[in-house]
Structure 1
Amino acid sequence: MGELKERELIFVFTGPDGSGRKSVADSVGTTLGLTKVLSYATRKPRPGEVNGQDYHFITPELYGQLDDEGGFIENVTINHIRYGLRDKDIERSFQHNGCIYLILDPEGAEILKRTYGDHVIRIFIYADRNTVEQRQRDEGQLEDVIAARLSHYEADIAYQSQCEHAFENYDLAHTVFDITNTLEGYLERNLVERD
């Protein structure tokens, strides 16, 4: 794993499943022109997910092979599904952009914070339990999947206090606006408003 340069930052969007962290992260990333780094997952895409855009969806066998090669800096198992992040992908992304973003569960966010320290800025996205449950139903998730994901809700919410920033997400445009303004301070691009 290489050392990060002073201005290289990793914005990690985290929070409970159903909080809208993906929609928020992708909107903020597009607005600020950040490069997205994808994790690997050993599950099938959920409705609306696209391989190579949301995750690298791979077989458990290929995941095991990459893991045996020591390729993952973040390697977690959630509900019997393995998720991982490769340091090579992070290093490659920094060749294109000085700031990158990722979408990780709280466990993955914590691993990245321990690995890269102050270069990691965690943005915690949340909504109340009933809202995240309804969002998952609206996505067409199966009841057993919803139950499994909600079983982590309280532990995920507790991680909020360890993050650098936290935002309620009930209105996507408002949340994206607030986060974009917050992250501009880290980017130090000295933007000037013109009449």
Structure 2
Amino acid sequence: MADSQDRAFIFVFTGPDGSGRKTIADSVGSTLGLTKVLSYTTRKPRPGEVNGQDYHFITPELYEELDASGDFIESVTINSNLYGLRGSDIQRSFKNNGSVYLVLNPEGAEMLKQTYGNQLIRLFIYADRQTVEQRQQQKGIGGEVIEQRLGRYETDMIAQARCEHAFENYDLAHTVFEITNTLEQYLQRNLEERD
């Protein structure tokens, strides 16, 4: 088990909202059999999001309580909503499953990189501003929310230079394939079938 712990990584899918980072992360995670570590947030679920599958949706009061007790190793405020990640969730997943993956905004990914160093690999997923806007409109996201997100687009794109890998996402299947191959090089698993 020590050998697999040595090769345990935190793969963080990041990039601007609307880049497809969550869809890609879940597809790659499923393909590679990785466990997803969920963030906690005070915002309301978006259409199609499920508590315990996309995020842990909690009250601002509970969030503040967890934050005050030092549970969060990463905590950010975006558009008046709080987002945090519990270190105990990552450690438990490492112990039980080895490598894990997360979906974080670039600010959160940077905070985690400072904590985990080389064990954390940032995968920056992006598309041009117009494509990102169209994707959000197709999901039925309101104009005001899209405007808030696009207000962060340029800042989020700057984070690409600090990430270990960057992938342009215009063809979902191709992007998932590319990232899966990249992560296999980190995992270095013996994929031969055994009787």
- Normalized against structure 1, the TM-score is what? 0.95
Partner of 1:8: 8
Shift in Å, 1:192:
4.8
Whose helix proportion is higher, 1 or 2? Answer: 2
Structure 2 Cα separation of the partners of residues 50 and 191 of structure 1: 32
Is 1:117 paired with 2:117? yes
- Within 5 A, what are the aligned runs for 1:30-109? 30-109=30-109
Partner of 1:186: 186
Structure 2 Cα separation of the partners of residues 135 and 56 of structure 1: 24
3-state DSSP class of the match of 1:157?
helix
Structure 1 Cα separation of the partners of residues 133 and 6 of structure 2: 40
Of 119-128 and 5-14, more deviation after overlay is shown by 5-14
Residues matched between the structures, number: 189
Is 1:165 paired with 2:165? yes
Report sequence identity in percent: 71
Which 5+ residue runs of structure 1 have no aligned equivalent?
none
- Normalized against structure 2, the TM-score is what? 0.95
Partner of 1:24: 24
Q: Deviations over 1:15-34 (max 9, x none)?
A: 00000000000000000000
Shift in Å, 1:107:
0.3
Shift in Å, 1:191:
3.0
3-state DSSP class of the match of 1:18?
coil
Which runs of at least 4 in structure 1 moved beyond 6 Å after TM superposition?
none
Instruction: Write the letter of the residue equivalent to 1:52.
Output: G
Shift in Å, 1:98:
1.1
CA-based RMSD of the aligned residues comes to: 1.0
Instruction: Write the letter of the residue equivalent to 1:70.
Output: G
